[in-house]
Amino acid sequence: MHPIVAGRGLAAVFLCLVPLASPAANDNAVPPDISAKTLEMLQRSVGFKTVEGEGQVPAYAEYLAGELKAHGFAAEDVTITPRGETATLTARYRGTDPKLKPILIASHMDVVPAKREDWERDPFTAVVENGFVFGRGASDNKFGLVTSTAALFWLRQEGFKPKRDIIIVLSGDEETSMETTAALAQELKGAELLLNSDAGGANLGDDGKPIVYAMQAAEKTYMDFEVTTTNPGGHSSRPGATNAIYDLARIVDRLAGFRFPPKTNEITKAYFKAAGAITPAPTGPAMLRYADNPEDKEAYELLVSYPEYVGQVGTTCVATTLRGGHAPNALPQSATVGINCRVFPGESVEYVQSMLTKVIDDPEAQIKLIYKPVPSDASPLREDVMKALRKAIDLRAPGLPIVPSMSAGATDSLHFRNAGVPSYGVGGLFTNPKDSFAHGLNERIPVASIDGAVVQWRSLIRDLSR
């Protein structure tokens, strides 16, 4: 996943910002052997068809374990755990103080399917062309996996000794059931924090310059409900006073006019403050007013009118599917509407269901939760993390604005936040939203982003582990 937080219209304002730091030269020069290894690993990684059901994740994990051991990880510190047809991999870079809690560097090894006939190229053979690496998983999430791992190779090579253990945590089914993620989160729930390579990143403008860096610190919770009305039915030539479809239509009408109350948290406040300062009127000032006071009706009404902001000001529930009746000449015995909710961190299933029950306002209708959610609270914007991220981003793009973000979900961070580990999406991909094809056809990443990502990861990991 790779959240996009700001429109490209903001470019002009961002570019006026003056560089803030001039880093030491060696901090942003990736050693040539590490740089070459990173590109090679990314290409090799794309070649493993780690799609659900293909059974390729264990082989990919073996390949990665070989690279880790070749770059200074002790064999006993690299663990592959088979889990069904997939697997997880953890690798521990030992720190000097065993009393300190470890930091986790998370990525996922699996990818979503890709059909050869739909792609211009074989999706599972990495091709470097026109400054891009093409291939399924190139951006989601093998770029993040490889660049964060290569940063550890670099730290090994320079003999860096962290105080805390650094643990690479690779899941094997993030794109599907996340059972491997849940298992890893249980095993590692005492960790200090998690840095996820599968979220966060910068948008590039059409001139190739970065506009804004988004850091993911929260995810909304996904919930699905179904509301069903029932009726004895009968012959359509004898309509009665009640009808399951009419009853459902009235419910759907009430849902259409309903909104959950406005809500903010530390992340969305910081987001609206940062975005508000650089977004033209009337939206920018509305963002600032809303960040100060979510009860500001006028600001709220303006923000909910934008699809890109409606999810940032509260829980949303929307009708997505509809079915009902069984024959053109019979009265319907049932009608069902499916409702998808994206729930603000901290709001429970019970709360959402009780709100829906109130709006539906029909004691005969059945409301059923059909997807069991994993609640996860927003992670606090810790000073140490924000400081380390600021420094790491300055190595690549001095002064680039960093905006905290809450995404619609979901990444592996969901399970780790649920297990009490603060988790931050701090990926190193800098890309133009026009070139972002995660999950889509001709997925690609700019080659120019690779070294910068390694620089960013090395700085972040070094600062947060010492």
Contacts to Zn ion by CB under 5 A: 1, 140-141, 198
Find the length of the chain.
466
Q: Report the candidate in 461, 449, 412, 465 with the shortest Cα–Cα distance to residue 38.
A: 449
| Contact call for residues 254 and 359 (beta carbons, < 8 A) | yes
* Structural tokens at position 271: 């987001």
Which amino acid is present at 441?
Answer: L
| Contact call for residues 413 and 26 (beta carbons, < 8 A) | no
- Shortest Å, Cβ 88 to Zn ion: 15
Q: Report the candidate in 376, 74, 2, 107 with the shortest Cα–Cα distance to residue 222.
A: 376
Positive or negative: CA dihedral 250, 252, 256, 260: positive
Q: Give Cα separations from 268 to 39, 276, 287 (angstroms).
A: 36, 11, 10
Q: Where are the alpha helices (DSSP H) in 295-408?
A: 297-304, 307-310, 349-360, 383-396
- Shortest Å, Cβ 457 to Zn ion: 17
Distance separating alpha carbons of residues 259 and 461, to the nearest angstrom:
41
Of 143 and 272, nearer to Zn ion (C-beta) is 143
- Shortest Å, Cβ 87 to Zn ion: 17
- Shortest Å, Cβ 340 to Zn ion: 20
Of 183 and 319, nearer to Zn ion (C-beta) is 183
Of 140 and 394, nearer to Zn ion (C-beta) is 140
- Shortest Å, Cβ 144 to Zn ion: 8
Distance separating alpha carbons of residues 283 and 201, to the nearest angstrom:
24
- Shortest Å, Cβ 445 to Zn ion: 13
Distance separating alpha carbons of residues 313 and 296, to the nearest angstrom:
12
Distance separating alpha carbons of residues 246 and 241, to the nearest angstrom:
10
Of 178 and 395, nearer to Zn ion (C-beta) is 178
Query: Is the preceding peptide bond at 141 cis, omega within 30 degrees of 0?
Result: yes
- Shortest Å, Cβ 233 to Zn ion: 46
Distance separating alpha carbons of residues 196 and 140, to the nearest angstrom:
12
Of 443 and 451, nearer to Zn ion (C-beta) is 443
- Shortest Å, Cβ 422 to Zn ion: 19
Phi, psi of 374 (to 5 degrees): -110, 105
Of 195 and 331, nearer to Zn ion (C-beta) is 195
Q: Report the candidate in 210, 70, 241, 260 with the shortest Cα–Cα distance to residue 153.
A: 70
| Contact call for residues 436 and 15 (beta carbons, < 8 A) | no
Of 313 and 414, nearer to Zn ion (C-beta) is 414
- Shortest Å, Cβ 438 to Zn ion: 7
Of 191 and 414, nearer to Zn ion (C-beta) is 414
Of 140 and 165, nearer to Zn ion (C-beta) is 140
Of 52 and 140, nearer to Zn ion (C-beta) is 140
| Contact call for residues 203 and 211 (beta carbons, < 8 A) | yes
Of 171 and 265, nearer to Zn ion (C-beta) is 171
Q: Give Cα separations from 124 to 43, 45, 119, 431, 441 (angstroms).
A: 9, 9, 10, 21, 12
- Shortest Å, Cβ 198 to Zn ion: 4
**Residue 370, exposed/middle/buried by CB under 10 A (0-12, 13-18, 19+)?**
exposed
- Shortest Å, Cβ 186 to Zn ion: 21
